[in-house]
Chain A
Amino acid sequence: MAEADAGSSPSSVDGGGGGSVQNDYPTIDPTSFDVVICGTGLPESVLAAACAAAGKTVLHVDPSSLYGSLYSSIPLPSLASFLSPDPSPPSSTAAAPDSHTVVDLQRRSVYSEVEFSGAAPEPARRFTVDLVGPRVLYCADEAVDLLLRSGGSHHVEFKSVEGGSLLYWEGCLYPVPGKRQDIFIDKTLGLLEKRTLNKFFNLVKEHVAAASVSPDEAGEVDASAKIPEEDLDLPFVEFLEKQGLSPKMRAVVLYAIAMADYDQDGADPLERLITTREGIQTISLYSSSIGRFANAEGAFIYPMYGHGELPQAFCRCAAVKGALYVLRMPVAALLLDEEKKHFVGARLASGQDILCKQLIIDPSYEIPTLDTSFGGPDLKSPRKVARGVCIISKSVKQGSSNVLVVFPPKSLEEQQVAAVRLLQLSSNLAVCPPETFVAYLSTPCTDVSSGKQCIQKAMHALFSPQASDGSEGHLETADESTVKPTLIWNCVYVQEIRQGTSRPLLSCPMPDEHLDYRNILESTKKLFTDIYPDEEFLPKKSAPVYADDDTDSE
């Protein structure tokens, strides 16, 4: 594991948790808490902040020397060991106090099919890699609200995905209209398309305005502006057809704005079809995100230094409220009260037993099964997402730094069942050195090889391979703007996705296949409500009051 004197060396990242026997773990004082949380992923960190804000005493530990667990951003040289960690060490099973049973805690393998290609430019540690990519925040989404409410927003800086979104369609990239003016200046749209699209957006706008009015004011607005209920329950794709949108415009709306994952024309199975209601909800979030912050361009923002900053921000909020933090501290086992079937504490790698009323663990740990009565929540095979990370030589969109690209289903190959999303980031986010770009890709998949194949196809659609002798890349002699970016280095892997559970043990959700944190945070909030039904989840007043020179906070 990491050196005794701490996070001084970023290369000591350890995703595996276990490691060499090193007995200089500190002794924790006190030895009993309301809540013990193991792992500093985003959901655990948000829960730590919420529990601390609710006045609970919290001990938050992580085996790694870095914050973030499955949600961290890590220096590129540490990526390989993070994706293929060493197996958990055998843990101690000495007797527990007060007749508690000791239940070993094991890591599970979250990542599979890890494949690297190419050599990262030196110094490789100047590249910071997200494990949750491609991911952004909508300016008006729950993640932003939680950051503002908790005070975590003071600790993170953001930049816009200022290049907007592009749709990959018939081998070319087309801009996705963000603002209404975009529709009119878009040279790739025909006049009829412009008119239909504009009409559709107007319809949605009026519906959202009418629907957001409270019932007692309803008399004053035109109820006919609302889209009828039966239309809201329709598959969104059918509704779009009814509005007369062309196939390309439907793809723009479905996959690049409503962010549908699966093929909406294929309809297999039916639950993958998004309804008009769901589609409009995301469109409405998208449009309310545009212009929410005066200095943000477009709907999406990205945290400088990577997504790993977000758990750190929530942990700091928790710490400010009194939560105790111990990195480089694995949990070896859990303490179980056999009679009550309830976990009552954790045995740290140091051998110290910590008692608590509530235990929360990172999803990278296997949930111990408590005899047969719980029937094992893990029997179903989990969802999977194929992810890719690339280093490329230049932007996919000339003049833009940060860009989102969506490859709708079937756009790369006939067998492509789900959309592939690609987020390109530049050095202005401090995640890579100047003159390079990082791109993340993901697609949900059931079959790991076809998932990986889609990721690879998407890379090859936009990037050209590194020339072996360094000269062939320029044979095309075309002007600079039409030459594809060169793919310098890449890594493709598959991640399983497990949901959060609150019984028999509270385990947080893994990073999911989505572009944003909405589902993860919604389920995190639900987990909090499960354990503390009477407490408000990160109430607004939980944001610390800052002593400013022009205000008196006392």
Chain B
Amino acid sequence: MAATAGGNKIRNAKLVLLGDVGAGKSSLVLRFVKGQFVEFQESTIGAAFFSQTLAVNDETVKFEIWDTAGQERYHSLAPMYYRGAAAAIVVYDITNAASFTRAKKWVQELQAQGNPNTVMALAGNKADLLEARQVPAEEAKAYAQENGLFFMETSAKTAINVNDVFYEIAKKLLQGQQTQNPQGGMVLNQRPPERTVSSSSCCV
């Protein structure tokens, strides 16, 4: 993993994206991680997760960002997806009222599956398309407040508020003083298998 930067504490945090197909989940990540935007982003294929570090004051959060890999399309995300998520961004499209309705379902799902300490953000994406707006910002904001989420309207296209959402999450994670996944197990690393039988600690 990444080297420890100047003795800073590095906090690893799994962040999951939720929301309907086409709301712009992958675009938000690509904007945040690579600073890119593609007008006609294909449905998510190719990456299980991205990682990106973010410095907040003298601390660093290393996000491991999980995208849905299309498994949300027929509502078939595995429990594994939610496990250990320190943060979640529920994304909807401000030009699509149905996507906002579905976003609320995702929030419910997250509340059922995730852990109670998960930091949740609601992102109204495609905020550059104001003329096509179907979801009033006030309505989303009120919903977010009632449900303990923080809310921002974002545009992966113009980059408005994209870094801010992640920065805000990082701040909340650091404030949260949560213990870091105390039950964590080991992740098998990619070290190539050692075929040598010289391992001196073994019988054979």
A301-B201 Cα distance, complex, nearest whole Å: 18
How many chain B residues have a CB neighbour from A under 8 Å?
A: 51
Contact in complex: A283, B204 (CB < 8 Å): yes
Contact in complex: A8, B197 (CB < 8 Å): no
B112 within 8 Å of A (CB atoms): yes
**Of the 9-residue stretches B50-58, B148-156, B165-173, which lies at the interface with chain A?**
B50-58
Chain A residues within an 8 Å CB radius of B34: 547
CB distance from B103 to the nearest CB of A (A): 13
Contact in complex: B113, A157 (CB < 8 Å): no
Chain B positions 180-204 with a Cβ under 8 Å from a chain A Cβ: 183-190, 193-195, 197-199, 201-204
CB distance from B18 to the nearest CB of A (A): 12
Contact in complex: B48, A325 (CB < 8 Å): no
A317 within 8 Å of B (CB atoms): yes
B76 within 8 Å of A (CB atoms): yes
Contact in complex: A295, B186 (CB < 8 Å): yes
Contact in complex: B77, A157 (CB < 8 Å): no
A15 within 8 Å of B (CB atoms): no
Chain B positions 15-72 with a Cβ under 8 Å from a chain A Cβ: 33-34, 44-53, 62, 69-71
A482 within 8 Å of B (CB atoms): no
CB distance from A57 to the nearest CB of B (A): 11
A49-B81 Cα distance, complex, nearest whole Å: 17
Interface of A is mostly: mixed
* Chain A minimum-CB-distance residue to B30: A547
Contact in complex: A321, B45 (CB < 8 Å): yes
Q: A8-B108, A293-B189, A320-B69 known; A288 and B202 CB under 8 Å?
A: yes
CB distance from B100 to the nearest CB of A (A): 16
A546 within 8 Å of B (CB atoms): yes
Contact in complex: B45, A322 (CB < 8 Å): yes
Contact in complex: A549, B52 (CB < 8 Å): yes
A531 within 8 Å of B (CB atoms): no
B80 within 8 Å of A (CB atoms): yes
Contact in complex: B47, A326 (CB < 8 Å): no
B129 within 8 Å of A (CB atoms): no
A110 within 8 Å of B (CB atoms): no
Contact in complex: B113, A312 (CB < 8 Å): no
Chain A positions 275-299 with a Cβ under 8 Å from a chain B Cβ: 283-284, 286-288, 290-293, 295-296
Partner of B47, one of A145, A292, A315, A320: A320
Q: A158-B188, A179-B202 known; A326 and B50 CB under 8 Å?
A: no
Q: A158-B185, A288-B199, A322-B45 known; A204 and B78 CB under 8 Å?
A: no
Contact in complex: B203, A177 (CB < 8 Å): yes
Partner of B74, one of A9, A67, A179, A327: A327
A144-B76 Cα distance, complex, nearest whole Å: 25
Chain B residues within an 8 Å CB radius of A305: 79-80, 83
Contact in complex: B48, A309 (CB < 8 Å): no
CB distance from B59 to the nearest CB of A (A): 16
A208 within 8 Å of B (CB atoms): yes
- B residues sitting closer than 8 Å to A (CB atoms) are 2-3, 33-34, 44-53, 62, 69-71, 73-81, 83, 105, 108-109, 112-113, 183-190, 193-195, 197-199, 201-204
In the complex, 9 of the A-B residue pairs with CB atoms within 8 angstroms, ordered by the A residue number, are A6-B75, A8-B109, A145-B193, A147-B188, A180-B203, A287-B202, A316-B78, A325-B70, A327-B76
With A6-B75, A67-B79, A153-B189 already in contact, 19 other A-B pairs whose C-beta atoms are closer than 8 Å = A6-B109, A8-B109, A147-B188, A151-B48, A158-B186, A179-B202, A180-B201, A201-B203, A287-B197, A293-B186, A320-B46, A320-B47, A325-B74, A429-B185, A546-B48, A547-B33, A548-B50, A549-B33, A549-B53
